[in-house]
Structure 1
């Protein structure tokens, strides 16, 4: 072994520093300071390793470091959502749709569950051209087969009053207990019976915990306006 060296290290060359290597060096810094800027990374590398790296290389390294810390998006989608709902969630599924306002002017169909802490648990979603019975039936058939819902046995579904959805649920989940969203029921109710008095009475009976309280509060509405009572009872409360 020749102990005396005459070669000099080239501190200007950073070819051996690829983004993956840099990302591993900055894992602790990224955990402490998630908003670390690429220019700061360049200064740290120059001070620590006496090498100059480009801004773009630091940017790629930062993205890889974030993926190592948070995990890749594909890993999140690969998690067993279906198994999690079966094991740790209530037998309740909320069905709804919303309009997409970006470049895609379609509609989003969603199936949402509730976990043991009463938090939102996404189950399934799909983008369709329009909300109607065929699209809801297609969505529910896939959901039924994948989640093994057994026709809705021991299952509760909550939705708005969209006619296509109501009909699709009857076809795909004939054994389900189908409840309607109180907010949507009230939106239709106040078109005919408006005013603060009807509003307070509606939410009083809507929040009734037991059947006895429900009947007692409904009798109050019947005394004030029998037509309002008949309107609500016709919605299978």
Structure 2
């Protein structure tokens, strides 16, 4: 069989702006901080395409508008989402905090949101261990923010989500707001004999245990 001697073609007219943007939308949803060089490398590796900078820039701009535009528009539907939760889960608690604008005619800006579903609340009080863990994580999106969660532990030692909030930053004020609403939903933690532990306490306990084990081994070797 004769060896191919024709040059490899890395240009394709069918790879137009619309097609490129469609491909990049999927990548941006998975990698929100996708850079221009990353997109170029993706098409080079995946599709064997070498794209000029202007074409890729326009396509990446279109894809970002689709992804980030959709995300921004969804904040305008937060109240509808909350009402839907209350309608489908009677007895739940959904609280939305907003930042009012100087002009009364302007829509307020979303700030934070608290969600505690009735089913999760009742099942936790009825059948889970009297243990509550507090934790938080960053939301890796263009709009940022953090999600704070309160979790329990069921009889099978599985994680059980009780409530969660979306806040701009994890600080004392937002934790207080979160726990005050949780207190209203679950009742007095002393009366219900609930034990609360934060993610920082877990680290400290492990650190103290490590120090204790180090001292035991050191004492066994050097103390008569």
Query: Which range, TM-score by smaller chain?
Result: 0.3 to 0.5
Greater share of helix residues, 1 or 2? 1
Task: Identify the structure with bigger relative contact order (alpha carbons < 8 Å, sequence gap 6+).
Answer: 2
Query: Structure 1-normalised TM-score?
Result: 0.39
